[in-house]
Amino acid sequence: MVIALALGLLLGIASAQGADKITRIGFLSLGSGAGKYFGIFVQRLAELGHVEGKNLVIEHRWAEKNDQLPELAAGLVRANVDLIVTGGTPATLAAKQATAKIPIVFTASAPVEKGIIASLARPGGNLTGVALVATMIKPLERLKDAASGVSHVALLYDPATDPRGAEQFLTPTRRQAETLNIALGPVVLREPGDTNKVFMTLPADTDGLLLQDSNVNLFVRDRICELATQRRLPAVGNHPLFASSGCLLSYSQDLVEVNRLVADYIDRILRGAQPADLPTEQPTKFDLIINLKTAKELGLTLPRSILMLADEVIE
């Protein structure tokens, strides 16, 4: 009886200790801080029992430049976090380089082609997550729907988003643009501080702007949208924050779905699943957001057909 009571007491202590365990998650990305979609991620974690400030601590590491990411990733490893969440290819590659042991849950486009994981079905190693759709054809199509006369579009992109080289991204995008009778001119934006200079060097015949969802573009999205409107350029991109920041429209995967998926991966890993065994998922829902206020500032009268397609219209 004494042994049984002692064993029961020990099990009770162990159970209490397990219940009180604090999970520490590192969050690595280029940016200026958490926003709307990060809040959805935190909310979903709470629904799954991981409550920030109670049994969960999130260590934020926001970089202002891509070259800061490796040291920030190394810092999370030194901090001995239980798991690392990454946003975008540069952050994911930095985290992968920093650790082969700590689980990493990523959001990045073309993760197999970029060497982040072995395959979508069996990622292998210590990484899994959400494979974003990187194609720019749908935003281009919506741009053509909204402003049928556009013919010379500048593509604002960051080469660091694809370690294989810029042509891996540019070649198919140019071909897609040609099917819409659009000449696409690639324009590099590597650092936030180069934004004004980049706009000053846009060719005179530029009549539209296509924005890659690079972390750099998102970091300075307000300024990009402002400059585009000043030059009367309809600007579109494949992230919803472009439209809400004042660009004409966005067509992108539903980031509510994406962030909830990331939280689900974290929950499964914290409960014992191995990243190598968790297939990488792809978003299934896409949203078209139109900024009608910006359309009016640009002097555009949008066809009813595109307005009917919109999931959200910003007045």
Q: What is the pLDDT of residues 153-170, one digit of tens each?
A: 999 999 888 887 778 778
Token pair for residue 312?
């959200």
- The dihedral sign for the CA sequence 130, 243, 35, 32: positive
Maximal C-alpha separation, the chain: 89
**Cα–Cα distance, 236 to 251 (Å, whole number):** 8
Hey, what domains does the chain have and what are their CATH numbers?
2-132+254-284 (3.40.50.2300), 137-253+287-314 (3.40.50.2300)
- CA-atom Rg of the chain in angstroms: 22
**12 band by pLDDT with thresholds 50, 70 and 90:** very low
What is the residue-averaged pLDDT of the chain?
Answer: 89
pLDDT tens track for 178-203: 999 999 999 999 988 999 999 999 99
Beta bridge partners of 56: 23, 52
Beta bridge partners of 183: 152
Give me the phi and psi of 85, to 5 degrees please.
-105, 130
pLDDT at 295 over 80: yes
**Cα–Cα distance, 105 to 107 (Å, whole number):** 7
pLDDT tens track for 48-104: 999 999 999 999 998 888 889 999 999 999 999 999 999 988 999 999 999 999 999
**Cα–Cα distance, 27 to 33 (Å, whole number):** 11
pLDDT at 174 over 50: yes
**Cα–Cα distance, 152 to 140 (Å, whole number):** 12
What is the predicted pLDDT for the residue at 163? 80
pLDDT at 13 over 70: no
Quick one: what percent of the chain has pLDDT higher than 90?
Answer: 72
pLDDT at 5 over 60: no
Region 103-128: mean pLDDT is: 94
**Cα–Cα distance, 202 to 152 (Å, whole number):** 11
- pTM score of the predicted model: 0.84
